[in-house]
């Protein structure tokens, strides 16, 4: 009886090519169609683990953690200065889903300002410290890129405000220390404007530019009660 030999069944060639093209584990530099390049770890054909990417269009570079094709974890992002051809660090810290977030990070603004604190969805949110280019410093709570909650703003002349904030403005109970004049205003602010409060001398003997005459002392049987009543009126008007 003749023996019939059947050809061995083989997968189409493109199946083999596809398997070879799948990236998993540590790989050498891989170039995208648009010229971007990535060197690092992969999982199921996605950037995953430690890796460095360089964008051809801008020259920007990111080095750090990746998760399923997105920046996620701890990493540093820098841009190329077109004049000096040197890299300038823009952000170093935690990332979540390809945005600044998931923890603390430092952002360097082009005008020289700097923020060091918590982020969420690419925006300043949580506790953080902002150094402005005029010398002012704000440290406190943030929400969607604005001071919101409790915080302190210190001005270049040493004066400072400690208290409530809302949408980037002084709002709620707070204290304003006029250290240059040796005075303290304690009261209630609404949208950056003090609506009521008590002004008293504070460290007048050490002030750089004290007022000509000290403030007269006002006899209040219960100054704390006055402010408490004002706070209660403020809370009632905003409920």
| pLDDT for 201 | 81
Tell me where in the chain the CATH 2.20.110 domain(s) lie. Answer: 16-99, 134-230
| pLDDT for 173 | 97
Q: How far is CA 3 from CA 6, 10, in A?
A: 10, 21
Average pLDDT over residues 150-157: 97
- Span 156-214, pLDDT tens digits: 999 999 999 999 999 999 999 998 888 999 999 999 999 999 988 877 777 666 665 56
Q: Which uninterrupted H or E stretch holds 141? A: strand 137-143
- Span 24-34, pLDDT tens digits: 666 678 888 99
Report whether pLDDT(51) > 90.
Answer: yes
Backbone torsions φ then ψ of 37, nearest 5 degrees: -130, 145
| pLDDT for 160 | 96
| pLDDT for 71 | 98
Taking Cα atoms as reference points, which of 235, 230, 141 lies closest to residue 194?
230
- For the segment(s) 134-230, the CATH number from 1.20.1460, 2.20.110, 1.10.3470, 2.60.40 is 2.20.110
Average pLDDT over residues 140-150: 98
| pLDDT for 175 | 97
CATH class of 16-99: mainly beta
The SS3 of residue 43 is strand
d(CA 173, CA 161): 11
Taking Cα atoms as reference points, which of 150, 110, 145, 149 lies closest to residue 130?
145
Average pLDDT over residues 31-39: 93
Beta strand ranges found along 155-214 (DSSP E): 160-166, 169-178, 183-190, 193-201
- Res. 14 pLDDT band, cuts 50 70 90: very low
Long-range contacts of 149-157 (CB under 8 A, 24+ apart): none
| pLDDT for 1 | 52
| pLDDT for 9 | 58
């Amino acid at each position: 009886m003749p023996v019939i030999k059947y050809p061995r069944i083989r997968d189409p060639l493109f199946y083999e090519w596809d398997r070879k093209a799948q990236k998993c584990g540590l790989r050498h530099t891989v170039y995208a169609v648009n010229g971007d390049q990535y060197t690092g770890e992969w999982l199921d054909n996605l950037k995953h683990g430690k890796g460095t990417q360089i964008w051809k269009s801008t020259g920007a570079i990111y080095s750090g953690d990746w998760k399923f094709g997105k920046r996620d974890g701890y990493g540093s992002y820098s841009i190329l200065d077109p004049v000096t051809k040197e890299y300038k660090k823009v952000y170093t810290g935690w990332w979540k889903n390809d945005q600044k977030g998931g923890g603390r990070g430092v952002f360097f603004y082009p005008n020289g300002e700097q923020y060091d604190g918590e982020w969420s969805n690419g925006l300043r949110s949580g506790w953080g410290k902002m150094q402005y280019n005029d010398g002012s410093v704000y440290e406190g709570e943030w929400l969607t890129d604005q001071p919101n909650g409790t915080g302190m703003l210190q001005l270049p002349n040493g004066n400072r405000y400690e208290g409530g904030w809302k949408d980037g403005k002084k709002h709620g109970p707070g204290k304003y220390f006029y250290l240059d004049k040796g005075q303290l205003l304690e009261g209630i602010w609404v949208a950056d404007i003090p609506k009521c409060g008590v002004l008293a001398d504070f460290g007048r003997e050490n002030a750089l530019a004290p007022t000509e005459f000290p403030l007269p002392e006002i006899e209040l049987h219960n100054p704390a009660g006055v402010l408490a009543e004002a706070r209660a009126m403020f809370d009632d008007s905003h409920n």
